[in-house]
Every structure is written in C-alpha cells, then in structure tokens.
Amino acid sequence: HIELDGLVVNEVPNHDDNVKYDLELTVTELADGLELSWTYSRALFEAQTITRVADNFAQLITSTLQAPSSNLASLTYMSKEQEALLLEKWSGKSEVISGVEHLLQAYQQQVELFPEQIAVCFEKQSLTYKAMDEKANQLAHALLSRGCEAGDVIGVALPRSVDMVVAIVAILKTGAAYTPLDLDLPDDRLLYLLQNSGAQVVVTTEAGAKKLPTNGEKLLCIDSRGFGEEAERLPVTAPPIDDAKVSQQLAYVIYTSGSTGNPKGVKVNHKAIAAHIMEWGKILGIQPGDRVLQVATVNFDTSVEQIFVSLSFGGKLCIVEPKEMSVQEVWHYLREQRINFADFTPSYFNTLVSAGSLGERMEQCELKAISLGGESFTRSIADAWDKYKLWSHCRLINAYGPTEATVTSTYYELNGNESGVIPIGYPVPGKCVYVVAEDGTLCPPGVVGELCLGGPNLAEGYLGMPQASEEKFTSSLFKGDVGRVYRTGDLVRFDALQRLEFIGRIDEQVKVRGYRIELEEISSALMNVEGVNDAVALVKSTQNSDFLAAYIVLEAGQKEQMIAQCQAYLKGVLPPYMQPATYNVIESVPLTTNGKVDKKALPTPEIKSYVEWQAPESAIELELAAIWAQVLDVDIDTLSLKDDFFMRGGQSLLLMKLVTEIKHQFQFEIAVKDLFTTRTLAEQAAFLSQRVEEQALLSQVTGENQDMQDLNELVI
C-alpha cells in the first residue's frame, strides 16, 4: 500500500462481472507463489465445474514440477483423493445380496405364495401361477425325454403368447438356456443362429416349423395333437434342480448385431440375471398383484427383464402385440387392464404422448412407473410431464444398458428439475461404472471418456467368439485393479451430481427405434452384392423419424436394377429393422484426411420410389396419398400406387400415425394389422374403398331401421 500525508492507499481487488471470453485464467506472481484466478461465464459453467477444473489444473502443475522431464501424456491431472472418490463412491455398489441363486428361484416362491393368482395373460388367454407352473413342468419333462440336459441351448420359435412364457420357464427348469428365434428373420440368418447356438431342440408351433430352415434340430410343436396327448401323461411336478450348480450355468443367449457381418450371441448366466432382476424389481417397487406390461419382442433382452421382474415379485404379466395396436388401442389397454408398470423405447412412447390429451389419459390410468430405454431419451417427454404436472402421478425413469451388461446398467428417475440433456444416471446395484480415457486412466468429472461396466452381473462373453469376447470383456484396461469390465463403446461423462451423461459412440453402432444396429454389418452385406464396389450405411433423420440410408458405389449397370438387387439381397440376409429406407448411388465414398468416411460430404438422401410409376387417381387414392406424404414427410407428387409403405421409409411407429390420420380423415375404425397386410398405396386405397362402401351400406340400413321404428311409434 501507499502512505501519503494523511492518506493511505490500499489495493482493491477488481471484481468485474463482465467477461471478454467464456473462460479466462489470470496468473499473478506473489511473494510466496502464484495466484491463479478463474473468470468464467455463468451462463455456460457452474461454480462446481470451475472449482473442479482449477483443482485438476493445479494437480497438473504439481505433476509437472515433480517430474519435469516426463512427457505430457504421462502427467496426471487427477489427485489420488479424487481417483479414490471415483472408484469407491461414484462407480457404484458391485457386491449385492440378492438372496437368489438362479432365475426361477424367486418365481417358484411366488408359485407357492400365490398359486391361484393370474401370472400371465395375452388377449383372452390367462394362466394362474399354479397352472402355468404345471404346464411348464410338463414341457420340461418333454424336453428332457428328447435328450435335453443342463448346459444345453434350446431354441424358442414361438409367437408372442402365454405359451411363449411357459416355454421359457420350462427350458430353464431343465437347466438349459434358451435362445429366441424370430421367425420373421431371413432363412440364412435363422440358420446361422441355429448353428452358432448349437441348439439341438427348438420349441415352436406347427406353423413355425414350416418357416424354420432345417439344420437337423428336433422340433417340439407345442400345439400339435401328438404333444397334447403326450403332455397329459407327463408329471406336473418339477424336475429336480441343483440351485448352486444352475447359478453358474447359462440362462439365455440373445443375439445382437455384429460389425463382422454376423450377429453375436451374448451369454448370460443365471446368477447375473437373477441378481439384476431382484435389484430392478426393488427400484421399480413392484408388489404382488401389480400389472406389468410385456411389450418387448423376446429376441431382445428387455423382454427378460419385463417377464421375470413380474413373475419374481408376484405380478401379473400382461402381454401385448404393439405392432398390431393403434395409439388409441394402446392407451385403451393401459386403462382397461389397469397396468401399473410399463417399459417402452422413447420413440414409441413419444408416439403415444404426441396423440394428445396426455394429462387426461394418465389420470384415467393406474400407471405407477414408466421406464424408457433402448435409445436416447426424448426431451419432449419430460416437457410433457412438466406441462401436465405428472411427476407425483407416475414415476418416469430413463434406463440405459447394453445386452452384454445384463439389461439395465444405469437409471435416472426424473424429478422435473432437469435442464438440457437428461442423464442416464446412476449404476444399478451389482453394476459398476467407469469413465475411461484412451490411455486407460480414469476421467475426472466433466471429461468425456468411454463407459466401461463392471461388477458380478456382466455377461460371460460371446458364444463361439473368443477373440471378440477378449476384445470387449477385459481385465487389463485400467491402470489399476478393478476386475473384469465390458467396454461399451459409448462416450459419457460424469456431471457435478455424480450422474452419467450419454454423449455418443466411438464406433459405427447406432440405435434406431430401440434396435441396436452395427452399420458395418449393413455395409458388409451390401459389399457381397455383385457389382457393388463400396458401400456405407448411415442413420438419417426426417421431421417424423430416423431411418437408415445406404450409399453404394457401382461397377456398371442400370442404377434402378442394381438398387433392386441390393434390396432383394438384404431382405434375404438382414432382419427388417436393418433394411435401408433409401439407396443412393455415388461415384466414390468421400474420405477425411485421416482416411475415415466423411459423412458430412455425403449427399442428402432422398427416399424415393423404385417401382413402376402409377399416379393416384380416385378421390380415396388422392386422400390417402396426402396422408402418406404427411406421415412419411415426402412430396406427394413422388408417390406411386405401387409404392410399399415400408419401402418408402415407413416403420411400425409411423404406421401407428398413419392409422390415426386415416381414422381422423375417414371417420371410421381400422386396426394397425389391417395395414400390415395391405402395404402398397393401391392395396390400402382398395381396402379403404371397401370400408367406405360398408359404412355407407350400414348407414343406409340404420336409417331404414330408424324409419321403421318411427312408423311403429306413430301407429302405437
């Protein structure tokens, strides 16, 4: 300070609230060291974030002073205290006491406690816990008599039904694992699943047996007359099971998309899935008698969670076929069946929310909790919950987890105070989370890294793929001992509240409408088409939905002819959800300076028709074409009567919207399944024309009956 005659001048710190840049660091030299002053925009940063950055920067300087000759990559910017906090507090609780050794143990307790309570229902069929268990026991004995034994893998090729659940329980009672076989898959893909899984027996129906490619497997058709007679002679008591032995055996093998061109069978043992089911049931708060919606297809691991979280806690499992239901029918089912717990993909539930009257619909339902997973959470859903003040009415949960980490790994229950990105939250007990940098060190909060999942409830690996298992399930990733982890390939970061935020992907894996897709598998399949030199697949978005776009480089030949060949080939080797909605012929695949595909340089895909042109003419054809154009977000002038709804970018969620718009326009009821069987514009227009004629005839008959009633009243 400065002292003048009668005046003392002291330095006053300058607290200027205005910042020239988003973040400024001012270093001032003092007598005893350096003072670091951080100035930041409060619109962009929270105080906790800047405090953390300041601590990490100070640690980096300390590391530099301690080892001045070290290279920059080897210097640490995280203190040992911070690293210990991440490992011990933020990573999650790996050891849990579930009280069960295998997947059927808690279910068997419910059979004893609630034998006459409804366990499962589908359409007009239902079974009590006792009846279902006895049917499952008979089927288990039938499987054992066909040579099935503990450790085997048994295929399940059944439509969505009560029998599907019975078959899964029966297979588990033999000590074998089940693998779902979707009969809508191409023959080549089904054949690969049968060969890779080693399934010697497949439980199916007589209709399913005709669709399955033969590979020497024994087929057990549960709806055949012969099996019906056999089942009557089989005992209704359970075959003996060794709980301790079964706990380490496989419960199921579920296949996911693979970047090598073939799907990968994820192996999950009983102890892992059983422990997870008990923890997830506690998180949801399911009580005996609660009604749980079963909406996921059986070839996705979400179905395991939906089925057994209900059966393990004494719930009533209510099975629906969402592909055949309109938005109104789904809401009607939720209300009439008094569903308490439901699980959807965000895109599917967003379709339900977009139908309007959400507040009124939710008031009419008895939903206690809705969990949304399989893809990124849609902000509009949280906004709708806020708008109608539904936070106290029904819990809303954002769930995240890859198949390899046994269904749900992290979850976040929204409370209405979220802004910006909705977190994927905190680890489910039994799962551990680590955010890891490329060099294998832990990332401090706020820094993006790869999410690695650990804990005792991981999958065992991929069936018959030791190299892929070793790459993705590793014990040597960290510079420290945290045990075996699964590398998800997802980029995440911790926020200041210990919550995980999803950022994106490292590789080419994507999620479209909840389906996990390796884009390289599509590209690889396209490269197998003769005449295709190079191929790239991407996910693109329209106003109404996401879709797959294929870019192909051709040798020669007519463009439309080659595109038709690509479409035909992919239909034969890839499932419906992996079919591109559009094919774009390009001269070459653009690359960045480091040799990767330059996605920004690829032309904007155009979903267009590759069929013979035939313009809509009648009034109904023109009205329907206008609805198609609105739902598919395409130009009406590009629509041909021969166009297939699904080949023009349509999918199940857009089909639900199509049904809603048709009902509104034509003022009569139609079912979603009606449009599944009439896929072209011409077929749907013909179907609607027939319905219009039926409605006109019905109105005429109703009018004549009313005239006769009026005449009778006059005579009386």
Q: Which of the following CATH numbers is that of domain 512-585: 3.40.1350.10, 3.40.190.10, 3.30.300.30, 2.60.40.10? A: 3.30.300.30
pLDDT at 711: 44
User: In the predicted model, what is the mean pLDDT of residues 224-237?
Assistant: 90
Residue 714: pLDDT band (50, 70, 90) is very low
**Tokens at 591, concatenated:** 């690359």
d(CA 678, CA 458): 43
Q: Name which of 80-94, 163-177, 292-306, 324-338 the model is least confident about.
A: 80-94
Instruction: Give the helix ranges, DSSP H, for 67-201.
Output: 80-85, 105-113, 129-145, 162-173, 187-197
Domain ranges of the chain: 23-77, 83-96+431-507, 512-585, 619-702
pLDDT for res 79: 79
Provide CB contacts within 8 A for 392, sequence distance 6+: none
Give the pairing of strands 500-505 and 485-494: antiparallel
710 pLDDT above the threshold of 70? no
Which pLDDT does position 259 carry in this prediction? Answer: 66
- CA 279, distance to chain mean position in Å, is 20
Topology at the third CATH level for domain 83-96+431-507: Luciferase; domain 3 (2.30.38)
Lowest-confidence pick of 237-246, 604-613, 697-706: 697-706
Q: What is the pLDDT of residues 502-534, one digit of tens each?
A: 988 887 777 777 678 888 889 888 988 888 888
| CB distance 554 to 531 below 8 Å | yes
- Give the number of C-alpha atoms closer than 13 A to the C-alpha of residue 299, restricted to the C-beta side: 23
Residue 35, both tokens: 């003072």
How far apart are the C-alpha atoms of 155 and 138, rounded to whole Å?
17
| Residue of higher predicted confidence among 1 and 373 | 373
What value does the mean pLDDT take over residues 618-623?
A: 91
Half-sphere exposure of 1 (CA within 13 A, CB side): 9
Residue 372 predicted with pLDDT over 80:
yes
Using alpha carbons, select from 381, 351, 375 the residue that is nearest to residue 656. 351
Assess contact for 176 and 144: CB atoms under 8 A. no
Which has the minimum average pLDDT: 118-132, 466-480, 483-497, 616-630? 466-480
Nearest to 203 by CA among 249, 250, 258, 140: 140
Report the distance separating Cα 554 and Cα 569, nearest Å. 15
pLDDT of residue 277: 97
The pLDDT tens digits for 421-462 are: 899 999 999 999 999 988 888 888 888 899 999 998 999 999
Cβ atoms of residues 449 and 492 within 8 Å: yes
Measure the CA–CA gap between 303 and 178, rounded to whole angstroms.
13
User: Are 524 and 534 spatial neighbours (Cβ–Cβ below 8 Å)?
Assistant: no
Averaged confidence pLDDT in the chain:
87
DSSP string covering 208-233, please?
HHHHSPPSS-EEEETTSHHHHHHHHH
Q: Top-level CATH class of 619-702? A: mainly alpha
Q: What is the CA radius of gyration of the chain?
A: 30
pTM (two decimals): 0.81
Dihedral through CA 48, CA 54, CA 56, CA 62, nearest 10?
-150
Q: Is the dihedral of CA 175, 176, 180, 183 positive or negative?
A: negative
How many CB atoms are closer than 10 A to CB 19?
14
Residue with tokens 């006459």: 116
What is the rounded average pLDDT of the residues 201-230? 89
Q: Note the Cα 133 to chain centre separation in Å.
A: 30
Q: Which residue has the higher pLDDT, 555 or 143?
A: 143
pLDDT digit string (tens) for 33-90?
888 899 998 888 888 888 888 888 888 888 888 888 888 777 888 878 888 888 888 8
